[in-house]
Amino acid sequence: MNGARTAAAPGPGARDAGLRPATGDALDKRIAATVRPDIRAMTAYPVPSASQGIKLDAMECPYPLPDAVRDDIARALRDTALNRYPAADNGELTLALRQAFDIPAQSGLLFGNGSDELIHLIVQSCCQPGDTVLSPWPSFVYFDMAARFDHARFVGVPLTADLQLDLPAMLRAIDQHRPKVVFLALPNNPTGGLWPDAAVQAIVDAAPGLVVLDEAYQAFAGHTWMPRLPHLPQAVVLRTVSKIGLAGLRFGYLAGDPAWISQIDKVRPPYNINVLTQAALRTVLRHKAVLDEQAAHLRAGRAALASGLAALPNVTAYPSAGNFVLARFSGKPGGNAVHLALKTRKILVKNFSDAHPLLADCLRISVGTPDENRAVLDALQDILS
């Protein structure tokens, strides 16, 4: 992905087809004159290849769906008409979601191809070029990326040294930059902290535009703003099914006052939720208890992982309300070396050591199965001794 020049070179297939291999210099020049400079300068969102081994880098649920649910999905997909565009009326899915996730009756709903798409739609519908998108930082990298792709200016307000929300700094930054959109990940990725209600409320009250409460990890936090949404006309709640066992489906939803939702809906690509995703989701939601049970396992696993990490020498495990734990390796070996040593043992975690000064020597470890959690702790014990 990063070696774009090599990837773009025509392969044997292209030559067989009689295509003229692009002359490198001319093509480079054309691309340089055509593609936006900021896009050319950046590296693509890193998606590590799925290796065999233990994958604890992306907050995926480690549990597959039970066979009975999969059989139900198979039947639902078999009966799905692929020759037709998705229906405009999502009534059945909307109702199932409202019930499964306790969405207030008076709130509007918008669906996205992953909540990543909804983040784009929010910025696109609110921001003219140069307008500000603001978030505590470090937080979810896609807030920054989506803002920049959509020609907005991103302002990240640094967390405190112990990775907590700096409310006075947030309020000052809101006053100074007058952001169109404020994103708050609750709990925050990658640090795991859940910002206090009073601080979130103060930000919602101070923000001049829209505040997005991103509850991607709500199932593990046991906390939500959803029921308060009707009393928070300046805020919307963003959710995803990715972290509760359905990352492959690509489905997110945005709840908020219908007046916000109808504006944001205008920039949504038509048919953005495909019929297979809709059918599979409707089916899975009939088995919502399975998802809840898996989330409960992961919450228990998080406690075991966090206490195991905290017991290691020179390791700080930050309190997490998500299905992951951020750990700082302040001794020798540090974060980069530990990340590499885990990789050698075929254990994949996310390395933030060089991502931001506040995250120096930090690795984010997704909660896996009890066996996977034990394996990563055993490996770390070995690496650190």
Ligand X SMILES: *Cc1c(COP(=O)(O)O)cnc(C)c1O
Of all helices (H) and strands (E), which one includes residue 377?
Answer: helix 370-384
136/301 with CB nearer ligand X: 136
215/377 with CB nearer ligand X: 215
240/277 with CB nearer ligand X: 240
Given the DSSP bridges, would you call strands 54-56 and 347-351 parallel, antiparallel or unpaired? parallel
274/330 with CB nearer ligand X: 274
* 150 vs 130: CA distance, rounded Å: 9
CB 277 → ligand X: shortest distance, Å? 12
Structure tokens at 280: 């599979």
CA separation, residue 327 to residues 192, 212, 330, 357 (Å): 10, 27, 9, 14
CB 116 → ligand X: shortest distance, Å? 4
Q: What is the DSSP string of 71-100?
A: HHHHHHHHTS-TTSPPPS--HHHHHHHHHH
Contact 107, 98 (CB under 8 A): no
Contact 183, 141 (CB under 8 A): no
182/185 with CB nearer ligand X: 185
240/283 with CB nearer ligand X: 240
Closest of 248, 253, 263, 197 to residue 225, by C-alpha:
197
What does the binding site for ligand X look like in residue numbers (CB under 6 A)? 114-116, 140, 185, 189, 214, 216, 240, 242, 247, 252
192/383 with CB nearer ligand X: 192
Structure tokens at 365: 């470890």
CA separation, residue 244 to residues 48, 73, 129 (Å): 20, 17, 35
Closest of 323, 344, 356 to residue 58, by C-alpha:
323
Q: Is the peptide bond before 187 cis (omega within 30 degrees of 0)?
A: yes
